[in-house]
């Protein structure tokens, strides 16, 4: 019997990546990457206002380019054996669509309107709306926030919808429904032309949209209508049924089959968020915290359903039945900035080079910039750890978990005239590790054991300094997965399951998983030293939070 192949598509913050994978070995026969051109040019974004929007054309062009490139690399013999495609995306990254399910930005009258585009996960323009939802929820006998950690975030579905509606009457009037990126792409590939036919994944609906089987679906209309009349009746436009990612959304449309060089029998799986599929690609195990580390982190833990009865973890990004592995409870946490913290510091140091470089010197400047983080890591690694050296707080993009608060800001304290770039960089790396420990501590404090950590993504494979420091801070071993593309591979595993190659995703993980190739074990002496600095990090963080909270109440 000939080997079957599947395609996993991973929509990240800056680019989309597709991999064409063997279902027999999990090895990639082809891979392709597409950088979003409009995003790369900074269009439709205002960083000073925390506005980050992405045009649907970036996604559509990237989808076609990467899959087509994989098909051409693999050749017609393999392309003929592709049986499934699944996608993961960032989230919550929703968009307004019309009755036909078309994002408004694809209509001529809205083509340059940021409010008609996808509202990227890290867009924090709806902080006010999130705060209102949190206050409003306390008025109801049913706690509609109980499955999202008790705190609704400005990064999520309803806060973003309400903010856009308040800001833009034209978009409000033209909006038929509001759809997550991970739910819209499968609809697109299937050739859907009615918004009512969009299948919503339990992953996106449960973690970001307040959907829960225990509520019979979304909270009742009264919850939203009394929050703001702009939302009156909106849940009627959303389907009450949701699906796990091992199920099929449909099959590839004739139009997209022609674009991609595939056949129309290809099964399109239900979409999910990148970190959830990435955890599967990274071969997650019960009670191991899977950290997908990139610009931010998304931390995933799965637990058997019967062992989670009566347990609700406060301050995380939700716990949803079947959101990661069907039949298990998926728990999500994360840090709003991780690699972004290092990128910020690199850009800060490189600013004079970029600004003052003369014509013809940009290639040299780029080479220097590319080496900055490597050299900083090398120098920072040699610094001794003492209690009173520079210390940072990692909230440069607010705080996601524990206890979401996007108003919070980062800080660096203890600066002296001896504070140089390596010392400050080390403080920033420590801060991201301390932020990671806060998440581990929250799970343990609330009765969810953490047996160890699984690290996924580029940073775990490229930076031994960051990973060893994190292991020392948390005091737990960290296994690093062999693949850098665990999100795309995870999507491929779900595609294989949706296409019927495997009976369940656990079988797909066992057959297609690539395993682990390194492990960082904590140095007990360093763990003791970092415990003192962690206590100081906590005190400084509490001070910052108190000051910002008081300021917001003035």
Lookup result for tokens 């979409």: 271
Query: CA torsion sign, 401 to 405 to 411 to 414?
Result: negative
Tell me what pLDDT residue 360 has: 62
- Residue 157 reports pLDDT greater than 70: yes
- pLDDT tens for residues 9-18? 999 999 999 9
Residues 382 and 493 in one domain: no
What is the per-residue burial (b if ≥16 Cβ within 10 Å, else e) of 337-356? bbbbbbeebbeebbeebeee
Write out the DSSP string of 105-119: GGSGGGTT-GGGSEE
Query: Are both 16 and 90 inside the same structural domain?
Result: yes
**pLDDT tens digit string along 23-69?**
999 999 999 999 999 999 999 999 899 999 999 999 999 999 999 99
Q: Identify the pLDDT of residue 457.
A: 87
Give domain status of residue 333, yes or no: no
Can you give the CATH number for the domain in which 13 is found?
3.30.420.40
Distance CA 1, CA 54 (A): 43
Residue with tokens 């702009």: 230
Whether 256 and 128 share a structural domain: yes
534 and 492 belong to one structural domain: no
Instruction: Kindly state the tokens that stand for 296.
Output: 């931010």
Question: The pTM is what?
Answer: 0.91
Whether residues 393 and 492 fall in one domain: no
What's the pLDDT tens digit per position in 207-227? 999 999 999 999 999 999 999
Contacts of 462 (CB under 8 A, 6+ apart): none
User: Beta 319-321 vs 328-335: how paired, if at all?
Assistant: antiparallel
Tally Cβ neighbours within 10 Å of residue 307: 14
Establish if 307 belongs to a structural domain.
Answer: no
The pLDDT value recorded for residue 370 is 80
Dihedral (CA of 251, 254, 255, 258) sign: positive
Name 518's bridge partners.
Answer: 480
How would residue 388 be classed by pLDDT, with cut points 50, 70 and 90? confident
- The total number of structural domains in the chain stands at 2
Domain annotation covers residue 222: yes
For the chain, what is the mean pLDDT? 95
Same-domain check for residues 400 and 498: no
393 lies in the same domain as 489: no
Average confidence (pLDDT) over 287-303: 95
**DSSP-assigned beta bridge partners for residue 299:** 291, 333
User: Could you read off the pLDDT of 411-447 as tens digits, one per residue?
Assistant: 999 999 999 999 999 999 999 999 999 999 999 999 9
On whether both 401 and 497 belong to a single domain, the answer is: no
Would you say residue 1 has pLDDT above 60? no
CA 159 to chain centre: 17
Q: Which domain holds residue 443?
A: 339-481+523-553
* Structural domain contains residue 85: yes
Alpha helices for 226-336 (secondary structure H)? 254-260, 274-281
Q: Are 464 and 506 part of one and the same domain?
A: no
Give the DSSP letter string of 146-181: GGGTT---TTSHHHHHHHHHHH-HHHHHH-SEEEEH
- Lookup: tokens for 129: 């709306």
413 in any annotated domain: yes
- Picking from 160, 196, 168, 183, the residue whose alpha carbon sits closest to that of residue 110 is 168
Same domain as 345, residue 491: no
Residue 111: half-sphere exposure toward Cβ, Cα within 13 Å: 4
Residues 502 and 531 in one domain: no
């Amino acid at each position: 019997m000939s080997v079957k192949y599947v395609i996993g598509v991973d929509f990240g913050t800056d680019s989309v990546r597709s991999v064409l994978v063997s279902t027999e070995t999990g090895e990639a026969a082809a891979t392709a990457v597409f950088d979003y051109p409009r995003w790369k040019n900074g269009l439709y974004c205002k960083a000073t206002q925390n506005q980050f929007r992405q045009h649907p054309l970036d996604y559509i062009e990237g989808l076609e380019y990467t899959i087509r490139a994989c098909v051409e690399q693999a050749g017609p013999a393999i392309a003929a054996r592709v049986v499934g495609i699944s996608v993961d995306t960032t989230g919550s990254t929703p968009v307004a669509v019309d009755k036909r399910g078309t994002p408004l930005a694809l209509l001529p009258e809205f083509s340059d309107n940021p409010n008609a585009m996808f509202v990227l996960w890290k867009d924090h323009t709806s902080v006010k709306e999130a705060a209102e939802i949190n206050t409003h929820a306390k008025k109801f006998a049913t706690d509609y926030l109980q499955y999202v950690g008790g705190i609704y975030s400005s990064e999520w579905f309803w806060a973003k919808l309400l903010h856009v509606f308040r800001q833009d009457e034209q978009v409000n009037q033209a909006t038929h429904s509001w759809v997550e990126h991970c739910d819209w792409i499968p609809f697109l590939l299937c050739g859907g032309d009615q918004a009512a036919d969009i299948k919503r994944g339990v992953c996106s609906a449960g973690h970001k949209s307040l959907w829960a089987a225990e509520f019979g679906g979304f909270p009742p209309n009264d919850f939203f209508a009394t929050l703001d009349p702009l939302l009156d009746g909106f849940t009627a436009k959303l389907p009450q049924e949701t699906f796990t990612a091992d199920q099929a959304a449909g099959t590839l449309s004739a139009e997209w089959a022609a674009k991609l060089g595939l056949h129309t029998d290809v099964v399109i799986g239900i979409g999910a968020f990148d970190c959830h599929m990435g955890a599967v690609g990274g071969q997650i195990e019960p009670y191991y915290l899977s950290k997908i580390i990139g610009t931010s982190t998304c931390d995933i833990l799965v637990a058997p359903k019967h062992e989670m009865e009566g347990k609700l973890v406060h301050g995380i990004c939700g716990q949803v039945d079947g959101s990661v592995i069907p039949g298990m409870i998926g728990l999500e946490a994360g840090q709003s900035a991780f690699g972004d913290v290092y990128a910020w510091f690199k850009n800060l140091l490189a600013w004079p080079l970029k600004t003052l470089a003369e014509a013809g010197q940009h290639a040299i400047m780029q080479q220097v910039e590319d080496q900055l983080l490597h050299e900083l890591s090398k120098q920072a690694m040699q610094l001794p750890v003492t209690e009173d050296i520079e210390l940072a707080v990692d909230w440069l993009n607010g705080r996601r978990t524990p206890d979401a608060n996007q108003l919070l800001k980062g800080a660096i304290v203890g600066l002296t005239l001896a504070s140089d770039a390596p010392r400050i960089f080390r403080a920033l790396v420590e801060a991201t590790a301390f932020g990671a420990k806060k998440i581990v501590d929250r799970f343990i404090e609330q009765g969810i054991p953490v047996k160890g950590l699984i690290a996924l993504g580029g940073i775990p494979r490229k930076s031994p300094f960051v990973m060893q420091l994190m292991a020392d801070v948390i005091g737990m071993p960290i296994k690093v997965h062999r693949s850098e593309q665990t999100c795309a591979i995870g999507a491929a595993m779900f595609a294989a399951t949706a296409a019927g190659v495997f009976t369940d995703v656990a079988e797909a993980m066992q057959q297609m998983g690539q395993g682990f190739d390194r492990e960082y074990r904590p140095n007990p002496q360093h763990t003791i030293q970092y415990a003192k600095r962690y206590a100081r990090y906590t005190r400084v963080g509490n001070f910052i939070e108190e000051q910002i909270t008081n300021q917001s109440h003035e």
